[in-house]
Amino acid sequence: MIICKIRLAVTEALLAQGYIVHNWRIGAPSLPLYNDHSQKVGLADGGQSLRGFRSFSLTFDVLDSLQRRTLRRIAEEALDSSGGLIFATVDRGWNGAGPIDDWIDVSGQAHIPQITPIGNSNGLASSGVTLVVGNLTIINDPASF
């Protein structure tokens, strides 16, 4: 499955061992997005102008508590590192504008919005968990596997 090539790491050197499905034991995201276009939302609508902004997000339908903690730990360790960066391998084709299977290595600032557990799960499962990484810098194009 192509999506299983996604990697996350706190340093560029560890990227080779950062496959989210194989190494981190986190299931493949249900909604991966890569954005590399300019976007403008009027200030009257509560937005701001973004020019040349690159980001990606990985949304997971359901994560158990261990997977959720692992994802949060990766993001927090990246923020606590000297550069505050997370490293990843993503597919530019996720934006729908280019060919799929166009993998690149990137670095950026990680953020996980508020996580809400699924009702009646005693906090053991969460739905709609999203990892957002913004302010991307492309490191390798194409990605080195």
- What are the residue ranges spanned by the domains of the chain? 2-140
Residue 63 burial (CB < 10 Å; 0-12/13-18/19+)? Answer: buried
Place of tokens 């194409």: 142
Q: Given a cut of 50, is residue 2 above it in pLDDT?
A: no
Answer whether 0.85 is exceeded by the pTM.
Answer: no
CA–CA distances in Å: residue 1 to residues 6, 64, 71, 101, 139: 11, 22, 21, 11, 24
Residues 93-99, mean pLDDT to the nearest whole number = 82
pLDDT tens per residue across span 13-29: 999 999 999 899 998 89
Q: CA-CA distance, 90 to 92, in Å (whole number)?
A: 6
Name which residue leads in pLDDT, 58 or 96: 58
pLDDT, tens digit, for every residue of 99-117? Answer: 888 999 999 999 887 777 6
In the chain, the percentage of residues whose pLDDT exceeds 70 is 81
